[in-house]
Structure 1
Amino acid sequence: MNRSFFRFFVLLVLCFIIVWPAFFTDAAAEKPKIANKKVYRIAGEKYLAPFSYIDESGQFTGFSIDFLNVIAKEQNITFQYVPMDIHQAIQALKAGQVDAIMGLKYSATYGDTFLFSNPYFTMADAVVIPKQIEKEIHTLADFQNKTIAIRDEPGAFTLLLNVRRANFQLALNSKDALGFMMMGRADAFLGNKWTARFYLEQSGRSNDYVIRENLFEVPVDFSVVVNRQNESLLSIINFSLARMQGSGDYQKLYTKWFGETEEQVHRLRTWITLLLVTILVSLLIVWMIYMWNKRLKQEVEKQTEALAKANLSLEAHQRAIEQSDAFKTQIIENVYSGIVTLDEDFLVTSTNQRACDMLGIQLGACRQKAYNIPLLQHILNEYAAVRKQESKGQIFSYEMEYEKAGKHLFVLYRVIPLYDQSDMLTGYLVTLADRTEERMLQHKLTTQEKMRALGQLVAGVAHEIRNPLTSMKTFIDLLPRKYESSSFRDELLRHVPEALQRMNRIVEDLLDYARPKYPRRTIIDVSSLLDSLIIIISPTLKKENVHLSFAVEPNMQLYSDPDQLKQVLLNLMLNAIDAMKESAERHLSIEMKVEGETGCIRITDTGCGIKESNLSHIFEPFYTSKSSGVGLGLTLSYQWICENNGEIEVITKEGHGTTFCITLPTTDKEGASP
């Protein structure tokens, strides 16, 4: 390396050092534009000298006010300053009576409520103590059993949490807290040294006290605080603060109020140190470049060898990825569910074989619009209607029925939004599960359980119909002999139609119960529903010697499927009758009343109750304690109540009977027509 090159390098380093500071003063963000001159109300403490205070002439002044005046002039806006106590200022900001608070210390308490500007003044809290006890105080532990005057503000006790048995004298502001100390009501004052120094000099007693600055190392920042809706004002303040610090205006303002400080000397030393370090680092870099060039050939050979090894490893890794992709593809192609992926424009990007079979498209038929495929069109229309109400990441799942080739098919589908690493929507995943066989099996099991209950009812109905048939037969046998008797004809005309009407009503209700219907919710008159149930269940109640009592709130209505609700109540009543076969007292009670926006139905029996070990299984499919039946009665009852936006609860004790509580809505909360 020749001497001329070295001189050129040193000259280049010096030029870089000279130009470097310009980047901190000239570089700035684009100045925010202010359309019209706006007036902001700024709250500040009136006893926080020299930052904000009322001087002898009654003028509200201070470093914070001068700082904001520079911003107002630069940004062509107006600040109106309102002197307040700190707690008044915080409440005023919350209520929107002021736009900002100046000179507020950062506190996590208000971190979620307000926005804090970049700090425009940083310092560490100091302790003021009388000279009489100066030799007694060396560490924080020496404040045990002493009283410390502090300003009542958020986080005021944070610095003194580790001082045991210390007492505190709270004041609304720093001036009052210093007054407590000077009156002898406190042994020390904790706060910022500038405020303490100002009021001590103002009182003429600065020689009686000592300010200790080395007890706390935690910096305290003064910031301007605004509501979260006022980010524009915060941007103006942060922008102007950065410009003032870069241009030197801030330092001039600081010198006006606080004079020259050790910080400036420290900054100069820092720049000198930085200059020396830069020169040394530059020389080191030059030496390293020289050594690097010397060893470049050897390093290239090593890297070439390493690159060859890496290439072999990369090829092996690529083969592993291909095998993994093939494995995943086989899994996706052979799962029972259909899988479809869409991009953000709802174009089909991939499908598996099962999805193609269900959608009726060719495998690999990508880049076609999903809305051109009938089944996907229906799914996406349903999703579009509700996705604005769904929270991010929530899976949209629904079961639909559609007709294909003359057959009714049931499909459970899910729509899952897909996002990239930057949280941007990239497309959708649609899964399709054919539940036709499951629904058919469920329908068969439901019919089987219903027929079992129907058979139990028929036995009682047959007994109930026998009585009116017997009376009708008696009248028919007597008809040839007593037809001429007017009293006999009157009795015939009164009893026979009544018996026929009773039999017809029993048969109609029984057929209505057995007739399959699709779920259809509507407003139900509870009294009419209960009357039809009593007609069906009365023969069985008489046969089993069960006493029935019921209490129904007048004009009570429920919003539910009447057939499903009737079948649920009939299942629970038949179960109650079975549970009371071995009981000495056989009493079945039904209570129906409105509780708030829901209706409550309670069915209580005096039967054997349910064992605690069996209670958690009673709603499980095929679980039964009876010798007959398939164990689906309570399972279906639970399902039907849930389908009608209701709940079912069991209260039981073995040997003391059981109560089933059903709650259902009284109105259509979704606003759908019945």
Structure 2
Amino acid sequence: MNGKLCVSILMLVFFIAGGSIRSAAAAGYENRVLIVAGDENFPPYEFVDVIDGSKVYRGFNVDVLKAVALSTGYEIQFRPMPWADAIKALESGEVQAIEGMKYNNERDKFYDFSEAYMTNSLAIFVLKDMQAIASIEDLTGRKVAVQKDAIAYQRLKDRPIDLVVTNNQEEALELLISGKVEAAFGNHLTGQYILQRTKKYQYVKIVGGAIDAEGYCVAVKNDDPILNVFNKGLKDIKQNGTYDKIYVKWFGEPIDYPAQYYKRNFTFALTAVGILVVLAVIIIQINLYLQREVKKRTREIEIIHEELQRKDKLEALGKLIACIAHEIRTPLTSIKTFVELLPAKYDNPLFREKINQFVPQEIERINTIVNDLLTYANPKKVERIAIPSKRLIDNILVFFADNIAKQGIDLHIAVREDQMVCVDVQQMKQVLINILLNALQALAETDNPRLAIVSEERQNQPCLIITDNGVGIAKENVKFIFEPFFSTKSGGTGLGLFVSYQLAQQNGVAIMIESKEGMGTKVILQFSSEENLHV
């Protein structure tokens, strides 16, 4: 394969995948802030929780929308409220979207829906000793609790049923358990979650199976182009694996799977292996091309790494190629072994469990490596704007609020309101996210964890300093932390800081690390570009 053709193919894929959403901006969303309503008590999808005395809005829908915001470059402000109020807020224009709404034909007349990001169903909840109710038809003439204006209410409102309307599904289940109604009708997963959380599942059973299984979507007013933002973000997080991690976080992984699941995933695995083989061939061809052309095209192989700036570029490139080949060959070998054993061991439940566990992990590992390498090899054009450094920090901390609270981290922020920096906002967000992820991981096993983010001026340049009292970095490892594929974390690819270092350099930002093993780490970001001298 011609080397130039390989490069052209990768560039074409990159530009197709990185499309824009201009229609939403044209409709008045240039400030890139979206206000999204959600139910204040609809666990595990969305609910107001109390963590260490502070109210936190969390749940599956909240995490999904946060990931969409990060992917698309929008900021989302959540407005938790009773469900009926959320619908009114969307209709009045007080909010731009509702973060989770079950699709049906009636609602489709009033709202536009995003692509479904999961399947949702209704369920009938009755007391354990109830034998007379087994379907919706059995609810006729009975007293049934439903949430106000929810899809369950819409489903039953025209039937001859004595409906008791509540503010949320938790109230409906409380009425059931107290004997004030004969049944509660509502979301299947939400009901299960509430019963487990309140430890009252032993009193209630679900009858009638999954009812009206339909797509669960983001809802906006009819013809609102902002829907394109949500669709693009949902597509991105499904493709990069973020959605799967969020789903497992809130709903867990099933203990066993039906036979069709294995057949479907076997086909997927074979397809994925084929794609990976093609990618491996392309990467090898590109590497051979780069080896032949390295002396003629030194400007095209300016590697992000400080070590590559000091050493001979050809030697460093050879090292990078060897690392890539090794990192990709290892998971490919595991996948190949499973595929070769599949015909003989398909009927073995333990083998099916192992292939389901390890093949997706290995594919995700290769996908992560390829994505990081594409980010490195195809950097987008830097578009710098002047922005307060405090706004950068505040926008990033939104995504870490839950983890900071759960880990009990003492967070100290002292960033000046008037400190301005001139950077590409999305690129610097990625840099800061990688740094904070490393800090939180370093604090995971630390007693009395502390994290500080402060601003300073050094040599007339604005600086951000991020300090933790985590496990620190061994002295002999500090000089290697920006090297590709160097990682002391189990399962880490070693590409996060490698790519962050490149993005920082493109923005004229110097990254300096000070760390002592067992005492903590300090990361200094010095905005030393020419533009920042005059902000």
Which structure has the greater CA radius of gyration?
A: 1
Question: Which has the higher relative contact order, 1 or 2, with Cα contacts under 8 A spaced 6 or more apart?
Answer: 2
TM-score by length of 1: 0.34
TM-score by length of 2: 0.42
